[in-house]
């Protein structure tokens, strides 16, 4: 009887394992962030997330990119507003570019760098760039890849390889200089046709 009970328990245990679903098994759509843009109008921060929407149910459907924005008193609040517009959580692991608006104050730059450092889902190898209007840049549409953020990353890397000039604008490089007491940084500047 004891043996029969243990076999029944083992069979039930195996069935329960087979019925378990992983956290991501229901995620047929993922909202991957290719780039984050930041601008400020003083007390509030505007965050622009260039999301790449991938439909894993149908591989025939090409990924699409779109920019979603949120404004808040903190970066977390603005990102929460962006997340509230989506049916799935945003994934920051593949963020290639952090675009800073020209109106960025040193106080907001500190908050952005601190947030990126504490938010371990944002890769420290993301490029930081300067731009007049992050929303306009990220909304222009991609030329060579699925997202503008990945295009910018490719341009910086190609230019660096071609010229031999290291731009030292990856987040971890900026953060190291910032932690070393520097408050002025040289970042690659991108502009849209209308910005010139």
**132: Cβ–Cβ under 8 A, 6 or more apart, which residues?**
101, 102, 191, 192, 195
Spatial distance between the Cα atoms of 15 and 59, rounded to a whole number of angstroms: 31
> What confidence tens digit (pLDDT) does each residue in 80-108 have?
999 898 888 888 888 999 999 998 888 99
Q: Is residue 15 part of a domain?
A: no
Tell me, yes or no, whether 44 lies in a domain: yes
Inform me whether the pLDDT recorded for 145 exceeds 50: yes
- Residue 133 inside a domain? The answer is yes
pLDDT digits (tens, 9 = 90+) for 114-131: 998 887 678 889 999 999
* Residue span of the structural domain in which 42 resides: 27-195
Burial class (CB in 10 A: 0-12, 13-18, 19+), 193: exposed
Backbone angles phi, psi at 119, to 5 degrees: -85, 95
How many separate domains does the chain show? Answer: 1
């Amino acid at each position: 009887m004891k043996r029969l009970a243990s076999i029944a328990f083992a069979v039930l245990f195996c069935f329960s394992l087979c019925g378990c679903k992983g956290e991501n098994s229901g995620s047929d759509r993922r909202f991957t962030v290719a780039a984050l843009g930041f601008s400020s109008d003083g007390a509030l921060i505007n965050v622009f997330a260039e999301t790449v929407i991938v439909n894993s149910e149908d591989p025939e459907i090409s990924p699409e990119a779109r920019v979603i924005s949120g404004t808040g008193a903190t970066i977390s609040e603005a990102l929460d507003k962006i997340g509230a517009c989506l049916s799935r959580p945003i994934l920051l692991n593949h963020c290639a570019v952090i675009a800073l608006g020209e109106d960025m104050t040193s106080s907001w730059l500190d908050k952005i760098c601190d947030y990126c450092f504490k938010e371990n889902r944002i890769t420290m190898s993301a490029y930081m760039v300067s731009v007049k209007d992050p929303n306009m840049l990220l909304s222009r549409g991609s030329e060579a890849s699925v997202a503008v953020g990945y295009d910018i990353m490719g341009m910086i890397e190609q230019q660096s390889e071609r010229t031999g000039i290291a731009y030292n604008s990856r987040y971890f490089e900026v953060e190291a200089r910032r932690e070393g007491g520097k408050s002025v940084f040289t970042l690659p500047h991108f502009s849209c046709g209308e910005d010139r």
